[in-house]
Structure 1
Amino acid sequence: MGEQVNLAQILQQLTQALNAINGGNAEKQHSELFATINTQIAEFSYDSETDRTFATWFERYGPYIERDGQNLPDEMKVRLLIGKLGSQEYVRYTEGILPQKPTQISFKDTVTNLGKLFCGTKSLFVRRFEAFQLTKADHQSPIEFADQVNASCETAKMELSKEEVKALIFVSGIGDADRDLRERCLRLMEEAHLKGAQIRFAALVEECRTVLSLRSSAAALSRPIGPNTNSISVKPQRTTERSRRPLSRGQSRSPTRSNSTQSRTHQGSRPTPPSPCRWCNQMHWMSECSKRPPGAKWSRRGPVEKHCRVGNNYARGDNIQKRGSMSVLSVDGDTDSWLTLDCLINARPVSLTIDTGSRITIIQTQLWEKIGKPPLSTGKSQGKSYSGHKFELTGSFNCDVTYAGVTIKLQCYVSPDGVLNLFGLPWIRAFESKLRRPIATTLEFAIAPPVLATCSAPTSADELTALLKREFPIAFSPGLGHCNKMKAHLYLQSGAQPVFCRARPVPHGAREAVDAELDRLLEIGAIKQIDYSQWAAPIVAVKKKSGEIRVCIDFSTGLNDRLELNRHPLPRPEDIFSAIRGASIFSQIDFKDAYLQVELDEPSKHLVGLNTHRGLFQYQRLPFGVKSAPSIFQKLMDELIAGLPGVFVYLDDFVVASANHQDHCSTLRKFFGRLQEWGLRVRLSKCKFMCEQLKFLGHIVSADGIRPDPARSAAIESMPAPTNAQTLRSLLGAINYYSRFVKQMREIRTPLDELLKKDVSWHWGTRPTTRLRYGKADSPIGAAFDTLRPGQANHSRSGREQRRNWRNHFPHLQQRK
Structure 2
Amino acid sequence: MAASSGYIGRLGSFDKAREPFSSYIERMELFFLANNISSSSPSEERAVQERKKAILLTEIGPEIYVTLTNLLSPAKPKDESFDTIISKLKNHFDPKPLEIAESYKFGTRNQKNGETISEFILALKNLSLHCNFEGFLDRALRDRFVCGLLDERIQSKLLNTSNLTFEAACKTALTMEMAAKNAKEFRPTATSNSASINSQKSYTRSHKPTQGRGKAQGSKDHPCYRCNGPHSPKDCTFKNAECYNCHKKGHIAAACKSKPRHKGKDGRKPRSGEVHEIEDDTEQVPDEMTLYCIYSVDSVNHFETKVMINDCPLKMRIDTAADCSIMSKDTYEQNFSNLPLKESTLQLKTYSGEILDTCGQIECKVVYNGKTFTLPCVVARYNNKPTLMGKDWLSKLKLDWSSVLHIERTKLGQVLKEYSSLFEDSYEGIKGTVAHIRIKEDAKPRYCKARPVPYSQKSQVETELKRLEKNGVIVKTNYSDWATPIVIVPKTDGTVRLCGDYKITINQAVDDEKYPLPTSQDLYAQLSGTKVYSKLDLSHAYSQLNIDPDSQQFVTINTHMGLYTYTKLPYGVKSSPKIFQATMDKILQGIPNCLCNQDDVLIATATVDENLNYELSCCQGCIKWGHRVVVPKSLRDRLLTELHSEHIGIVAMKSVARGFMYWPGIDKDIESMANKCSVCQNSRSKPAKSSLETWKWPSRPFQRVHVDFCELGNDHFLVLVDSHSKWLEVIHMHANTSTEKTVDELRLIFASHGLPEELVSDNGPQFQAASFQLFMKQNGIKHTLVPNYHPASNGAAERSVRIVKDALKKQVCAGNSNLSLKHRLANFLLKYRTTPQSTTGYTVHQLNC
Assess same fold via TM > 0.5.
no
Bin the TM-score by the shorter chain.
under 0.3
Tell me the TM-score normalised to structure 2 length: 0.25
Please say which structure displays the higher CA radius of gyration.
2
Q: Which has the higher contact order (CA 8 A, sep 6+)?
A: 1
Tell me the TM-score normalised to structure 1 length: 0.26
